């Protein structure tokens, strides 16, 4: 893409772990020395850890490339396996056939025979587990049991575990004490410092150059360091984007202005986490370390302030929620009491309504109904000679009284007379 524009034979900041581009920084040189010592000295377990993108796989590739042909290597990169699947994967990588449905003791016997044959022929066997932090506890215990395969003087298999910091936390558990005691070499990869970041960038540009190598200025390297925090993979992402943007804008010289545009674009697309503004930071290679320390301190203080403010807001919201809960509980209690009152009123109204129906049935419901609802004792009969005056029968009076009570129950104290 931009290789010909910048006189490069290939992309210098590819994300693939290429040992040709390994920069011998202090931390990587130390890790490489520890790893070689553990492998060549057959010193039990070797554990290499580091953050995501810190260069663990590139380091491992460099060591494996330097091995002679007298070493058989089984390298596992997919570690989402249980104990039996792990054993089968190791055998397959060594070129052995685990077969179908064979018992675990049979698999262990065949693997032990293979390792003994390798030792008798003067060869070494090595198991390299990449992304070892994904191994389950039973799988890690299975790896420990494989280290028991040994002769009177040496181990039959050399085991190297490579993973993220979670691997160190996992190995620190009490149930893995036996495995932890067998670790003889352990190293944790730290991020690059500011000066190592600048040297790393220009080292890769020089390795990929065809003619005179392109170099980034100290200001550009400073910005790259601040946004990458010294992590090699992030450095590669930023530097590759810078070359791509420079090619798109036909710039043969990379400056700080273009670099800022690139990191802002990477932030906007979510590839990089947002950082504090760069305008307040000092420039120049001499102030790179101080600027980085100041920036990290500012970020820490800002993070602490934000954490305190967030805690205060959460406490306030919790109090508000507690008050709301109390209010809701009080409302629910009042509603429950009101529902009980309404239920009692409905019961009384239903009872009064049944009495009203019974009284109505007594006045005109036939002989049977009259017998059921007749009042006792019966009212006195008026004489024939007495002038009949309009009067209200007991049943009607009772009905009027019932309807009055019904209206009072439905509409309160106000009663509408017809």
Do 41 and 122 share a structural domain? yes
Do 221 and 125 share a structural domain? no
Region 304-326 average pLDDT: 54
Do 231 and 158 share a structural domain? no
Instruction: Flag whether 384 is in a domain.
Output: no
Instruction: Flag whether 15 is in a domain.
Output: no
Do 164 and 251 share a structural domain? no
Asked whether the predicted pLDDT for residue 17 surpasses 60, the reply is: yes
* 26/38 Cα distance (integer angstroms): 18
**Using an 8 Å Cβ cutoff, are 59 and 15 in contact?**
no
Do 222 and 182 share a structural domain? no
Do 174 and 41 share a structural domain? yes
Task: Map residue 73 onto helix, strand or coil.
Answer: strand
Instruction: Write out the residue range of the structural domain in which residue 94 sits.
Output: 26-189
Do 273 and 184 share a structural domain? no
Do 200 and 63 share a structural domain? no
- Asked which of 189, 222, 251 is the last residue of a domain, the reply is 189
* 102/108 Cα distance (integer angstroms): 10
pLDDT, tens only, 118-173? 989 988 899 999 999 999 999 999 999 998 887 767 788 999 999 999 999 999 99
Mean pLDDT over the full length of the chain: 78
The phi and psi torsions of 96 (rounded to 5 degrees) equal: -95, 155
pLDDT, tens only, 230-253? 999 999 999 999 999 999 999 999
Do 109 and 42 share a structural domain? yes
pLDDT, tens only, 26-64? 999 999 998 888 888 777 789 999 999 999 999 999 998
- Asked which of 167, 189, 211 is the last residue of a domain, the reply is 189
**Using an 8 Å Cβ cutoff, are 53 and 234 in contact?**
yes
Contacts of 378 (CB under 8 A, 6+ apart): none
User: Which two three-digit tokens encode residue 52?
Assistant: 């995501």
Do 179 and 115 share a structural domain? yes
Instruction: Flag whether 362 is in a domain.
Output: no
pLDDT, tens only, 392-407? 444 444 445 555 665 5
Rg (CA), the chain: 44
The domain that holds 244 is classified in CATH as 1.10.8.60
Q: What is the pLDDT of residue 258?
A: 94
Do 165 and 230 share a structural domain? no
* 274/267 Cα distance (integer angstroms): 6
Percent of the chain exceeding pLDDT 90 equals 47
Instruction: Flag whether 208 is in a domain.
Output: yes
Instruction: Flag whether 382 is in a domain.
Output: no
Asked whether the predicted pLDDT for residue 280 surpasses 50, the reply is: no
Q: What is the pLDDT of residue 324?
A: 62
Instruction: Flag whether 412 is in a domain.
Output: no
Please report the beta strands in 166-214, taking only residues with DSSP state E, as ranges in sequence order. 183-189
- Taken in order 375, 376, 381, 382, the sign of the CA dihedral is negative
Do 240 and 92 share a structural domain? no
CB atoms within 10 A of CB 69: 6
- Asked which of 189, 210, 231 is the last residue of a domain, the reply is 189
Total domains in the chain come to 3
Lowest mean pLDDT: which of 57-66, 205-214, 293-302, 363-372? 293-302
Instruction: Flag whether 306 is in a domain.
Output: no
Instruction: Flag whether 18 is in a domain.
Output: no
The domain that holds 150 is classified in CATH as 3.40.50.300
């Amino acid at each position: 893409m931009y290789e010909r524009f910048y006189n490069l034979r290939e992309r210098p900041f590819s994300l693939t772990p290429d040992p040709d581009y390994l920069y011998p920084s202090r931390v990587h040189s130390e890790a490489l020395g520890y790893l070689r010592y553990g492998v060549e000295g057959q010193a039990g377990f070797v554990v290499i850890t580091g953050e995501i993108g810190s260069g663990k796989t590139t380091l491992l590739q460099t060591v494996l490339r330097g091995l002679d042909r007298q070493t058989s290597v089984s390298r596992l990169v997919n570690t989402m396996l249980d104990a039996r699947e792990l054993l089968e994967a190791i055998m397959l990588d060594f070129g052995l056939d685990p077969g179908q449905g064979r018992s675990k003791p049979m698999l262990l016997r065949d693997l032990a025979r293979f390792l003994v044959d390798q030792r008798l022929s003067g060869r070494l066997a090595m198991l390299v587990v990449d992304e070892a932090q994904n191994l389950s506890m039973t799988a890690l215990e299975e790896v420990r049991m494989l280290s028991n395969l040994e002769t009177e003087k040496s181990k039959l298999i050399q085991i190297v575990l490579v993973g993220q910091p979670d691997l160190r936390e996992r190995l620190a558990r009490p149930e893995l004490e036996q495995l932890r005691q067998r670790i003889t070499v352990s190293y944790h990869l730290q991020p690059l410092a500011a000066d190592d970041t600048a040297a790393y960038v220009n080292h890769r540009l020089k390795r990929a150059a065809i003619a005179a190598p392109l170099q980034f200025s100290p200001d550009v390297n400073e910005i790259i360091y601040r946004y990458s925090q010294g992590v090699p993979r992030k450095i590669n992402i930023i530097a590759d984007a810078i070359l791509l943007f420079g090619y798109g804008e036909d710039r043969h010289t990379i400056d700080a202005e273009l670099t800022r545009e690139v990191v802002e674009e990477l932030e906007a697309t979510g590839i990089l986490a947002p950082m504090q503004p760069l305008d307040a930071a000092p420039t120049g290679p001499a102030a790179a370390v101080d600027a980085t320390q100041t920036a990290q301190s500012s970020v820490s203080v800002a993070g602490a302030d934000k954490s305190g403010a967030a805690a205060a807001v959460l406490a306030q919201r919790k109090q508000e929620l507690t008050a709301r809960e109390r209010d809701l509980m009080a409302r629910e209690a009042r509603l429950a009491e009101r529902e009980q009152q309404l239920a009692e009123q409905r019961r009384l109204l239903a009872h009064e309504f049944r009495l009203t129906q019974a009284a109505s049935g007594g006045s005109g419901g036939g002989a049977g109904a009259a017998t059921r609802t007749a009042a006792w004792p019966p009212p006195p009969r008026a004489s024939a000679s007495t002038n009949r005056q309009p009067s209200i029968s007991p049943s009607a009076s009772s009905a009027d009284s019932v309807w009055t009570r019904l209206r009072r129950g439905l509409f309160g104290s106000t009663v509408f007379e017809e």
